[in-house]
Chain A
Amino acid sequence: MHFKMSRNGLTHPLFFVNRKIALLLFRRGHSIRKQFTRSGVRPGKNYRTRQFEMHPKFFCFSEFLLRTLEYKVLLMKQNKQSPLDTLTEIKQLMERSSRFISLSGLSGVFAGLYALAGAYAAYKYLGLTGAGYYSGTLLVDKSLHDGDTIGFLALDAALILVLAIGTGIFLTTRKARKDGNSIFDSTAKKLLINLFIPVLTGGIFCLALYYHGGFIYIAPAMLVFYGLGLVHASKYTRNDIRGLGMVEIALGLLACFFIGYGLLFWSLGFGVLHIIYGLYMYFKYEK
């Protein structure tokens, strides 16, 4: 056994790479082996012979030391970076430090699904009250002045918002944890602040529209301001968001002219577009 070990140590490829280190390791294994036999095995009749017996544990240990050294040599070779690697690393670091990339594509898909469900509920409800916010018949929106209808729509919208944001936070947190990124860092803060400046402005603007009875402009205004928010925030997350924002703005402006189809445009913009873009982002970055 002892002979086998020495053969292993001395003929090991590393031995020729660095004779000194190989010898050192070999000796170290040897002395540890001695220690073990002295402390672990009671000295008896065959104390001397036992001293040179190779315990399988130590055979593994000395092998392990040699192997780690081997890996170290290998790693040293790998650590010499090419300039191209350095440049890619710089680029990655710049992106990671300035953009919030943990945004999950699936959260977009879920937000779209909630929006579609909410829009369907609104469609059913408005169908009951006879207000045609979807068919172009409603040019004078009298029935929307009804307090119940407004209450229902507000509740519907709030529910969609809470569900969408909740699922978004959950999925994004999960993804960030999986990627080992921090969840709420300075990039996330920047993203949220820049998204919500136009979005909150739009929200207050919509309240003003409601106050003055301009219901038909609420859906277009929501789309336009949301699109502006996305374009504004795209600097702080994946650049693809910019495209989504542009399409939302275009859809909103279109809705401004086709008055009376607000609900249709709304479900297109907040529902269908979110699902398409969410899937696109999901397959592009997470698959």
Chain B
Amino acid sequence: MKKILVDFNKAFESRVRLGIMSVLMVNDEADFNTLKELLNLSDGNLASHIKALEELKYINVSKQFIGRKPNTNYSASKEGKKAFHAHLKSLENLIKTQGN
């Protein structure tokens, strides 16, 4: 049991962070408001989780202006994708061992 849990990524323990990553895995990029709507979060909550992922370099951030409004786009980085896949695999392994 412990062996499996080694692969578990601490960063994805939070459902919000896991949600952000799964959205970014299937979309090339997503902006802040899209993420907010999809995950049903408040601005501050989402921002803090994004910051955590950004510090781990799991997501790339690009800021630009549309007219005068700032628009921030997020995309999953290579490391982020790798970490996410590893996390999913460990989840699947856990299910398999539970089933047996």
Contact = CB atoms under 8 A, between A and B. Distances in A.
B46 to A, nearest CB: 14
* Size category of the binding interface on chain B: 10 to 19
B15 A83 contact: no
Contacts of A96: 38
Interface stretch (B55-63, B64-72, B75-83, B90-98): B90-98
B30 A97 contact: yes
Contact of A98 (B18, B27, B88): B27
B38 A97 contact: yes
- A contacts with B: majority SS: helix
Contact of B27 (A81, A97, A182): A97
A146 interface: no
A98 B26 contact: yes
A94 B34 CA distance: 13
Nearest to A190: B27
A69 B95 CA distance: 32
A90 B89 CA distance: 13
Contacts, number: 46
A87 interface: yes
Interface in A17-62: none
Contacts of B94: 83
Contact of A97 (B18, B26, B88, B95): B26
Contacts of A78: none
Contacts of B25: 94
B26 A86 contact: no
B92 A87 contact: yes
A255 B58 CA distance: 52
A187 to B, nearest CB: 9
A279 to B, nearest CB: 29
A97 B91 contact: no
A84 interface: yes
B23 interface: yes
Given A83-B94, A89-B19, A97-B27, 4 more contacts: A83-B91, A96-B38, A97-B23, A185-B37
